[in-house]
C-alpha cells in the first residue's frame, strides 16, 4: 500500500450534506480496508457527522461550503479534517450548561480519547478553520 492515501470532498453547507459526508467517509474507509461493521468505523462516522453538523450549523451561513479531508499515513494513522471558512472556532461548553445541542465537540473529544487519538483546530489561510481528529489506524486482520 502507498505511504499515504488521501481523499477530499467539498459539499454545500446544507443539512443534507451531513449524511453525504458520512457516506463519503464510510465508502473511502471501506476502500482503504476498514470493515464497515467495526466500532472504530462507527466512531469515525459519528465524528464526521458531528464535525459536518458543526460546519453547517455554527457558521451561520457565512461558509457556503465545507470540505472533508481524509489522509491515511503509512497504514498507521488516520487524519480526518473538516474545514469551513467561518472564523469562529468551536468552544467547549461548561458541563453545567443545559442545552438540547452543543455537545458535538464533547462527543468528538471523548471518541478521540477512547480510540487513542487526538483532536485539533487550526486556522486556514482564508480566515476559516479546520477541526481535525487523528486516530491510530486499526484495521483488523483479515481471516
Task: Kindly give, in sequence order, each residue whose CB lies less than 8 Å from that of residue 95, ignoring residues fewer than 6 positions away.
Answer: none
pLDDT for 2 = 64
b/e string for 2-19 if b means 16 or more Cβ within 10 A? Answer: eeebebebebebeeebbe
Cell numbers placing 30: 471501506
In tens, the pLDDT along 6-59 reads: 999 999 999 999 999 999 999 999 999 999 999 999 999 999 999 999 999 887
- Match 453538523 to its residue by C-alpha cell: 53
Among the listed residues 77, 98, 90, 101, the one whose alpha carbon sits nearest the alpha carbon of residue 51:
90
Amino acid at each position: 500500500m502507498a505511504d499515504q492515501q488521501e481523499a477530499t470532498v467539498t459539499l454545500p453547507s446544507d443539512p443534507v450534506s451531513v449524511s453525504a459526508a458520512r457516506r463519503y467517509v464510510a465508502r473511502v474507509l471501506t476502500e482503504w480496508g476498514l470493515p464497515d461493521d467495526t466500532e472504530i468505523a462507527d466512531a469515525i462516522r459519528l465524528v464526521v457527522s458531528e464535525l459536518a453538523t458543526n460546519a453547517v450549523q455554527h457558521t451561520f451561513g457565512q461558509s457556503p461550503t465545507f470540505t472533508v479531508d481524509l489522509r491515511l499515513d503509512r497504514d498507521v494513522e488516520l487524519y480526518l479534517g473538516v474545514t469551513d471558512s467561518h472564523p469562529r472556532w468551536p468552544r467547549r461548553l461548561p458541563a453545567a450548561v443545559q442545552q438540547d445541542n452543543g455537545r458535538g465537540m464533547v462527543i468528538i473529544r471523548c471518541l478521540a480519547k477512547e480510540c487513542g487519538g487526538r483532536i485539533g483546530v487550526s486556522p486556514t489561510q482564508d480566515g476559516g478553520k479546520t477541526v481535525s481528529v487523528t486516530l491510530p489506524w486499526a484495521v483488523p486482520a483479515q481471516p
